[in-house]
Amino acid sequence: MVPGSLPVGQRWVPKPIPYDIGPVPSLDLRRFRLRLSGAVEHPSELAWDEILGLPQVTVEADFHCVTGWSVPALRWEGVSTRVLADLVRPREGVRWVVAHGREGYTTNVPYLQFLDPQSLLAHRMNEAPLSPEHGYPLRLVVPSLYAWKSAKYLAELEFLTHLRRGFWEERGYHDVGDPWRGERYRR
């Protein structure tokens, strides 16, 4: 992956184009909880203030959508996925993380890509809080994979030892979704 270069079949656009499977869910941050579950030593629930209290990172990365658009150099701010993994201590054999959105969306992410140094739980994009259409208040961002793996409206991360397909994967999309390998659909 070379920053500023495009995978085959992609074109540059100035900003991300929002897609949703249903209405954008409203939320009172005082009631927000991120659940960390599955094959972990320390299942947890984090309130919004606890998430903001974790070490914060900034990642600048291109963002590629399976529909063919890419946005160069988005600036994401939030919590590294590695910090969360260290917090819950996934058990031996974990291979997948299923991200659950508040609106019912799910996607499966290979554990190794989840742990990529650029993967994070973002609450800011381009120096502003996430807007509702881009996943307010929290979204998983996995820049090494197509954007459908960067689940919006994040409510839960479930660590699994086996494959469980998410919303688009059940409909034939690739389980990994690497744009540099053209992994749009399962073969």
Write out pLDDT tens, residues 1-58.
Answer: 555 589 999 999 999 999 998 887 789 999 999 999 999 999 999 999 999 999 999 9
Handedness of CA 135, 98, 148, 146 (dihedral sign): positive
Structural domain includes residue 141:
yes
Write out pLDDT tens, residues 95-115.
Answer: 999 999 999 999 999 999 999
Q: What is the pLDDT of residue 2?
A: 57
Q: What is the pLDDT of residue 24?
A: 78
Structural domain includes residue 13:
no
Structural domain includes residue 4:
no
Split into its structural domains, the chain has a count of: 1
CATH of residue 177: 3.90.420.10
Structural domain includes residue 25:
no
Q: What global pTM score does this model have?
A: 0.95
Q: What is the pLDDT of residue 103?
A: 92
Write out pLDDT tens, residues 119-138.
Answer: 999 999 999 999 999 999 99
Do the beta carbons of residue 10 and residue 69 sit within 8 Å?
yes
Range of the domain at 51: 39-181
Q: What is the pLDDT of residue 5?
A: 85
Residue 36 to residues 41, 58, 87, 100, 140, Cα–Cα distance (Å): 11, 22, 9, 10, 13
Structural domain includes residue 31:
no
